[in-house]
Amino acid sequence: MADDAESHREPEVNRFSITRRDFVRMGAAAAAAGASIKTTVLEASPFAAQAADGPPVRFAIVGTGIRGCDLLKAARTVPSGVCVGAADLYDMRHQAAQEVWGGAFATTRDYRVLLDRKDVDAVVIATSDHLHRRVTLDAVAAGKDVYCEKPMSHSVADGQAMVDAVAKGNRIFQAGSQRVSSILYAKAREIYSSGKLGEVHSIDAQWNRNSPGGAWVYPVPADASPQNVDWERFQQDAPARAFDPVRFFRWRLFSDYSSGLGGDLFVHMLSGIFAITSMNAAPVRAYSSGGLYHFKDGREFPDFLETLYDFSSANGPVQVHVHCNQNNNDADERISFFGSTGTLVVTGSSVTFTPQNVAARFEAYGWGGMTEAQRKKGQEDWRDAHAGAAQAAAPEAESFTVPRGYNDTADHLANFYRAVHTRQHVVEDEVFGHHAAIGCHMANYAYFHRTLANWDGDAGKIVG
């Protein structure tokens, strides 16, 4: 019934004279429906391509699998940093890392060899999630700054240990949700903080993927064996098991090493929301639903997960709905901020603002059950009551996209190098990273315990 009633509202706009505001309102609806609005291509930020004031940051990378190689590829384009060594537990990846970097550097299975080197300023960590804490703590103890891939932690306790260690060691730490450094998110932040959206109490974030080959079912090399995979080091901080290359190469499927969709994608979206709204805190509470509907291959996580969070922000309560679908649905990545005077939608390549028409207008819909004479009288009374009311100009709809080939990982690395040089903390520091990861752990807690997950800030833990 409610849907039927709502579907009758829009034609009422045309029953009476179309004001400029109505026109804007329809424009906003058209924009939301994908019709043409002015689109500006954003300029790439200058930092990534600039050389540093001093010598480039010399970093060693720990973990040169899929993401480690992507980081190295992006790092090639950022002159203020240089890779001087790499550690990985699968020997072929020593070669893969140098191929993608386009030059030779020292390689090892044991990252501590790299931490001992005086010519290493910083460490980039791209291991499976369960080892982020160990490598970070060792790197900080060795006096290195740290760029650690998202999700920062594999548990709340891991995250707190990392926050404490970084503070104690007075190191620069950046978590690796690169959207935070994106020029798109900077534009979204500018629009959000301009006040154009009015009050925002509702945010919806989704990331859906179409992976017909099997989500997270990454290749297991035919030659993988205990001879070329350092299985013992991989199992540190995880329950001991017999050699299993599927666990090593598809670790995202297993809770010993991964946090599932929460750690893989929720964290990106929560980090993006924090960056745009400056809301940097653990959620107050979370409720999750979902299931393992499609990929019944022994994985330990749902392939469809949705979580409703309550956040408390400086501007009042905010409900954040995050949902990810791996069931071969390619609706992709989108964060929508629903404000009282406008809607902001951020996708992987665009930011779109559409204003709401909030000017006073005759609400004809409510007069539908009246006689023609009553309706006319109501309209005349409304016009008399509003005669001479000021007509403020409504903001225009606007849209922005990134330039072709834009890479936010390069910007994120450049921000990290700059912080290493200046000793100024980055936006996505250890506390930010910890808060975003707590969001992911609360989503999983709520899902697996079938309960509300509440954040107990005094105890620093999730309670049911």
Ligand X SMILES: NC(=O)c1ccc[n+]([C@@H]2O[C@H](COP(=O)([O-])OP(=O)(O)OC[C@H]3O[C@@H](n4cnc5c(N)ncnc54)[C@H](O)[C@@H]3O)[C@@H](O)[C@H]2O)c1
**Closest-approach residue to ligand X (CB):** 65
The span of 88-96, 199-207, 326-334, 377-385 binding ligand X (CB under 6 A) equals 88-96
Spatial neighbors of 333 by CB under 8 A, at least 6 apart, are: 206, 207, 268, 269, 347, 348
- Partner residues linked to 197 by β-bridges: none
Interface pattern 93-112 for ligand X (x via CB under 6 A)? x-----------------x-
- Segment interacting with ligand X (CB under 6 A) among 74-82, 126-134, 291-299, 441-449: 126-134
Q: Which of 126, 137, 286, 305 binds ligand X (CB under 6 A)?
A: 126
- By beta-carbon proximity to ligand X, the closer residue of 58 and 67 is 67
And the tokens for 136?
């970070």
Q: Is 434 in the site for ligand X (CB under 6 A)?
A: no
Contact region with ligand X (CB under 6 A), list: 84-92, 158-166, 186-194, 332-340: 84-92
Asked if 303 contacts 326 with a C-beta cutoff of 8 angstroms, the reply is yes
Instruction: With contacts defined by CB under 6 A, name the span among 60-68, 343-351, 388-396, 454-462 that binds ligand X.
Output: 60-68
Instruction: For the segment 261-300, give every residue that binds ligand X (CB under 6 A).
Output: none
Query: Shortest distance, CB of residue 295 to ligand X, whole angstroms?
Result: 17
**Minimum distance, C-beta of residue 179 to ligand X, in the bound complex (Å):** 8
Residue indicated by tokens 């932040």: 189
Smallest gap from Cβ 131 to ligand X, in A, equals 5
Q: What are phi and psi of 337, to 5 degrees?
A: -110, 115
From the CB of 132, what's the least distance to ligand X, in Å? 6
- The tokens for 3 are 């849907």
Placement of tokens 């990545």 in the chain? 333
Considering only residues 21, 94, 150, 435, which one is a binding residue for ligand X as defined by CB under 6 A?
A: 150
CA distances from 323 to 208, 265, 333 (A): 8, 9, 10
Beta-bridged to residue 362, according to DSSP, are: none
Query: By the 8 A CB rule, do 447 and 255 touch?
Result: no
User: Using the rule CB under 6 A, which residue among 176, 272, 342, 433 binds ligand X?
Assistant: 176
Cβ proximity to ligand X: between 145 and 398 the closer is: 145
Closer residue to ligand X in complex, CB, 234/337? 234
Nearest CA among 331, 371, 58, 103 for reference residue 204: 331
User: Is 131 a residue that touches ligand X (CB under 6 A)?
Assistant: yes
Answer for which of 27, 45, 57, 63 binds ligand X (CB under 6 A) is: 63
Q: Which stretch binds ligand X (CB under 6 A): 89-97, 203-211, 373-381, 397-405?
A: 89-97
Half-sphere CA count of 267, side-chain side, radius 13 A: 29
Q: Look-up: residue for tokens 């599927």? A: 246
Q: Please give the residues from 231 up to 250 whose contact with ligand X meets the rule CB under 6 A.
A: 233-234
Q: Cβ of residue 87: shortest distance to ligand X, in angstroms?
A: 4
Indicate the residue among 192 and 234 with the shorter CB distance to ligand X. Answer: 234
Tell me: does residue 52 bind ligand X (CB under 6 A): no
Instruction: Give the span between the Cα atoms of 344 and 337, in whole angstroms.
Output: 5
- Using CB atoms within 10 Å of the CB of residue 148, give its burial: 0 to 12 exposed, 13 to 18 middle, 19+ buried: buried
* Among 48, 75, 80, 90, interactor with ligand X by CB under 6 A: 90
In angstroms, give the least distance from the CB of 31 to ligand X: 29
Report the candidate in 285, 300, 283, 342 with the shortest Cα–Cα distance to residue 31: 342
Cβ at position 430, least distance to ligand X in Å: 15
CB of residue 360 vs ligand X: minimum separation in angstroms? 46
The verdict on 28 binding ligand X (CB under 6 A) reads no
Instruction: Lay out the site mask for ligand X across 199-238 (x = CB under 6 A, - = otherwise).
Output: ----------------------------------xx----
- Specify whether the CB–CB gap between 440 and 310 falls below 8 A: no
Where does this chain bind ligand X (CB under 6 A)?
Answer: 62-63, 65-68, 87-90, 93, 111, 126-129, 131, 149-150, 176, 178, 233-234, 251
